[in-house]
Structures are given as structure tokens and as C-alpha cells.
Structure 1
Amino acid sequence: MHRPRRRLLLALAAVATVAAGLAVHFLAPAGPVSDAVGDVLYAALIALLVAFVAPCARWRVTAAVALGWCVGVELLQLTPLPSQWAASFPPLRLVFGTGFSLWDLLWYAVGVALVVICRMRRGSRRARLGE
């Protein structure tokens, strides 16, 4: 697929992911299910953004960078910084969170894996069609 078209599709997928994440955050009842869905969507968004920035990168690299970002952000929550940032500018809570959870690491891996699986399936379908 041509890079401009790929980037357009990645941007549209990222916008849809942000919309879904905001819907979960603001409309779904708080609890472990909405937390897990939010984590999956966050990680998927990061993977989409990495792919947008580096559209020619191999998906293994994209996945590693996205998962590395997510793990880094989660480990940052072991410090008081994300809470301080969120207190100063509340929307940063959606980006950096405020409290560490080991479960979040699992859900991040699921979110990145879903994006990679979708990309791999699309690539194998294109290969079968001779594109």
C-alpha cells in the first residue's frame, strides 16, 4: 500500500481509537472492565501512532516501541510525577495515568498485539492478492 494511503488509514484508526477511549472513559461505569478496555485502547493508539510516524518500519519494531512506551509510562506511575502532572493539567491523566497496576502491563500487550495481528492479516491478504 502506498505510504500516503497507509498513513491516512492509520490516522483514521487512531481517531476512532481515541473516540472509543474517550467514550469508555466518560460513559462506561468505572471498574476493572472499563479500566482494561481503556488500557487496550491506549496501547492500540500508541501502536497506531508509532506506525503513523514510521510507516515503513517492520511491525515487530512498531510493536516493541509501542509496548516499550506503555511499559515506561506504567513504570513512571511508581513515581509521584504523573499525579503531579495530572493535578496541574487534568487531561494528562489520560496520557500518563496516576497509579501503577501490574494488570495494565498485560492489557497493554493485548492492545499492541491486536494492532499487530490486524496489520499482519492485512499484509497476508495483500500477498495472496498479489499486491
Structure 2
Amino acid sequence: MRIRLIMLAAAAGFLVAALAIRAVAPLGSWVEQSSGTALYASMTWAGVRVLAPRLAPLAVGAIALTWCWGAELFQLTGIPAALSADSLLARLVLGTAFDPIDMIWYPIGIVPLVALHHWKHRSQ
């Protein structure tokens, strides 16, 4: 239960960081876009840890990355854009438009957390 609370707090922290960057970075800038993508991936990693707190570090990272890449590729169908037109939640979870650069930023948001999780897991 403790790890789930810590991961919920981490996810909230990643969200606050993303919103803070968005508030100060120029709209549409690479800083706003890239940091938001990486922090979305970090939130996804924390979400996987909430749902499966005992999962091995690489498995958590693989699931988070699969979700992120899957959501990004799903944007190619146009369905997320249609859903996002009527739903802020859909826009936050699924996005709206495919951006191939996002495919690079997702691992940037996940790999350091996998490494930290692995280091912490080994030290226990």
C-alpha cells in the first residue's frame, strides 16, 4: 500500500511539473512539447507501479513504453482526435495527433525511472 501512495504522489508531481513548464514555456515550443511528452511517460510509469507495485523494473518500463507508443500510434487512426474534441480526459490520455518525435521522448521519460527502480530494487 505504501508504494502505491508514493507512486500516486510521484504521478501528481510529474503532472504538476508538466503544468508548471507549460505555464512558463512559450506555447508550442519544443520545451513545452518535449517535456510534456516525457512527463506523460513518467506519469504512465508511475501508473503502472500503482497497478502492479511488485512488478520487476524492466517489466514496468516495458508496459509503460508499450502504452505510450501504442497511444501515439493509435493517433494515426484519427479516433483519439475525434474523442478529444469532446473530452478533456481523452485528450490528456490519448492525445490528438501523431508526432514521430514523441516516440523518442517517451523512453526519455521512462528509462531514468526504470534505472532508479532497478537500483532501489537491487539494494533491498
CA distance in 2, matches of 1:46, 1:52: 10
Give the match for residue 7 of structure 1.
4
Structure 1 CA distance for aligned equivalents of residues 42 and 112 of structure 2: 7
Q: Report if the CA contact (8 A) 2:25-2:31 is conserved.
A: no
Query: Which of 57, 62, 65 pairs up with 1:64?
Result: 62
* Structure 1 residue 26 displacement after superposition: 4.0
Residue 20 of structure 2 corresponds to which residue in structure 1?
A: 23
TM-superposed deviation, 1:92: 2.3
Q: Distance in 2 between matches of 1:34 and 1:53?
A: 28
Aligned amino acid, residue 113 of structure 1: V
* Structure-1-length-normalised TM-score: 0.85
Q: Which residue number in structure 2 is paired with residue 118 of structure 1?
A: 116
CA contact (8 A) 1:44 1:114 kept: no
Residue in structure 2 matched with residue 75 of structure 1 by the alignment: 73
- Greater C-alpha radius of gyration: 1
Which consecutive unaligned segments of at least 5 residues does structure 1 have? Answer: none
Task: Report if aligned partners of 1:71, 1:105 keep a CA contact under 8 Å in 2.
Answer: yes
- Cα distance in 2 for residues equivalent to 1:94 and 1:32: 18
CA distance in 2, matches of 1:105, 1:12: 25
Question: Structure 2 unaligned runs (5+)?
Answer: none
Per the alignment, residue 48 of structure 1 pairs with 46
Which amino acid counterpart does residue 102 of structure 2 have in structure 1?
D
Q: Which digits, 9 at most, give the CA deviation of each residue in 1:56-87, with x for residues without a partner?
A: 11111111110000011000111111111111
Aligned length: 123
Identity %: 34
| TM-score, normalising length: structure 2 | 0.90
- Give SS of 2:13's match: helix
| Two-structure CA RMSD over aligned residues (Å) | 1.5
